[in-house]
Structure 1
């Protein structure tokens, strides 16, 4: 500083002024440059701050997008899981529905078969009534259904004398007429059942009603075979007084219980479950 002072002390005033002006100009220029740099620095800092804010905003937005993407993926996975579960349930329901439809179709088929068989039995019964119409109208017999079986019933009072097992002439005619009808039913079997009232019998030939009912049933069987019924189609059975159809306390009841029943033996092969029973029985 002292040097500058001494230097300026030796410099003429004109030169000094010029030098001072030049120094002042340089100082002013320096000040201007400094201010310009400060402004540029401030501008750069502002730009940097703005870029940093944009970057932070971008990072925040990216974070939001990433979280949204993860949420969407999770939701998609849940939806796929739910869809898979619903699909499996739907497949299961569809299988159950198919099984249910199959069961219904099978049940309908079986119902149709049972209905067809029932209609066939009704038609057979009507046919039997038609075949026996003449004998029914003559009062010699009646046709009925007992325990699901078709039964031709004849009162023994017109067939046999009391305590006897020989057919009367009227009885022979009646049984011969029945035999002619039964002989036309070559695909069926018949069981002749003897029934009595509860009045006991005890003779050398008939120690009880069992023997009396049995002897009467056998006589009817022989008469039927003589009328054309094959011996392989017919059998005899005795029920004595064990199957009354009326009260034995009255004469009318006793008369109703003294009877011969010719049962049309059901075809077991037409009954439900016959095939299964056949397999079980070997």
Structure 2
């Protein structure tokens, strides 16, 4: 009997212990499930937020694309209009082109018939005499050979009153001993004026002549060498035709 009672007590104690262990395990599993559910809920919330942000970004991109397409379309329209305007100006009739060509030929015919040589240098036209008009250092005086060359040019200009010339004076880059208040600009102008005065003295109409001084700003040679500086102490003559007819033919004001 005592054995039976002892066995029952043992069974009851063992069952109570097993019940305690199962409840603890259950609580742990329940806590893990709760944490998992919470993490899942947070993840789902983040996924929803990201989806909303994605939709908002897609809508913004679509709006920006539509705006850019509108601006591009507007630019294309503007460019088409501008190109049409340019083409309208460039599409001159054959008669208009011929009128301009005749005008240019008429302006320079006097030079080709005058006996003066016309040369192009660096995109500019020059009237050239057989003898170059160069000067001594710091001087605007003409020597005998230069006077003879200018006199020969004067005869050609007198025989061709339609010719207009621009006499340009130049210097090297060296300073010179001269009166106070003068510089290479003054010297270059004085050199051009010497040539113009000689032409007028020999009978050329003053209305055919314009003068300008460039100082040392337009060198023809290297100022670092003696030969280059000699080449820079010069005057040059360029055609100075009346462009009024040309501008009128081209539609200018």
Deviation string 1:243-271 (CA, Å, 9 cap, x unpaired) is 12233223332232221112221221232
| CA–CA separation in structure 2 for the residues paired with 1:236 and 1:264 | 12
| CA–CA separation in structure 2 for the residues paired with 1:190 and 1:123 | 14
Residue 233 (str. 1) matches residue 208 (str. 2):
yes
Question: Which residue of structure 1 lines up, in the alignment, with residue 132 of structure 2?
Answer: 155
Which structure has the highest helix share of the two? 1
Deviation of residue 225 (structure 1)? 0.7
Deviation of residue 115 (structure 1)? 3.2
Residue 114 (str. 1) matches residue 100 (str. 2):
yes
Aligned residues of 1:194 and 1:261 also touching (Cα < 8 A): yes
Deviation of residue 124 (structure 1)? 4.5
| CA–CA separation in structure 2 for the residues paired with 1:209 and 1:104 | 44
Deviation of residue 181 (structure 1)? 0.9
Q: Structure 1 pair 265/107, CA: closer, same or farther in 2 (3 Å)?
A: same
Residue 224 (str. 1) matches residue 199 (str. 2):
yes
Tell me the TM-score normalized by structure 2: 0.55
| CA–CA separation in structure 2 for the residues paired with 1:115 and 1:156 | 33
Q: Structure 1 pair 104/164, CA: closer, same or farther in 2 (3 Å)?
A: closer
Consecutive unaligned residues of structure 1, counting only runs of 5 or more, are 1-102, 133-141
Aligned partner (choices 153, 171, 185) of residue 196 of structure 1? 171
Residue 252 (str. 1) matches residue 238 (str. 2):
no
Equivalent positions of 1:80-119 (< 5 A) are: 106-119=92-105
Aligned residues of 1:125 and 1:150 also touching (Cα < 8 A): no
Count of aligned positions: 164
Deviation string 1:228-248 (CA, Å, 9 cap, x unpaired) is 111122122111111122332
Tell me the TM-score normalized by structure 1: 0.50
Question: Which residue of structure 2 lines up, in the alignment, with residue 4 of structure 1?
Answer: none
| CA–CA separation in structure 2 for the residues paired with 1:214 and 1:105 | 44
RMSD: 3.1
Aligned residues of 2:172 and 2:223 also touching (Cα < 8 A): yes
| CA–CA separation in structure 2 for the residues paired with 1:123 and 1:236 | 22
Consecutive unaligned residues of structure 2, counting only runs of 5 or more, are 1-88
* Larger CA deviation: 146-155 vs 201-210: 146-155
Larger radius of gyration: 1
